[in-house]
Amino acid sequence: MSSDQASGPVDQAKLAELRALERPGKEGFFAKILGVFLDDAEKQVERIRRAAQERDHEAVAIAAHTLKGSSYYVGAGRLADLCRQLEELAEQGILEDEPAAGVERELVEVSAVLAAEAAKAKS
């Protein structure tokens, strides 16, 4: 884990890499990436919540795996690590409230940072 990840919910170096994908005449790509992540992350957390209530270990693992990958992509390493832990527990047939709650809490922090970055990119 980088020091940027350790000090905040999102790795600023990774965000800089994503910002660098912007091209003249194609502005808005960075904000769009972040917006897609934020929309999908909420859907995946809802899937985790619903699947956990239904005791569907496989669905929890799939949603956690999906969120893990996209979290790494946007630099949300702590969130990705929490998703990995949740995925591993679900694959072992273990569904506990705390790992899922940890994912939700971390997503709140990540969402605040990424929403602010997207807003800055649009202005």
pLDDT tens per residue, range 36-61: 999 999 999 999 999 999 999 999 99
25 vs 84 pLDDT, higher one: 84
pLDDT at 52: 94
26-122 maps to CATH 1.20.120.160: yes
pLDDT above 50 (res 2) = no
Rounded CA separation 88/77 (Å) = 16
pTM of the model: 0.90
pLDDT above 80 (res 123) = no
With both helix axes pointing from N to C terminus, report the angle between 29-53 and 12-19 in degrees, rounded to the nearest 10.
130
Q: Do 44 and 66 contact (CB within 8 A), yes or no?
A: yes
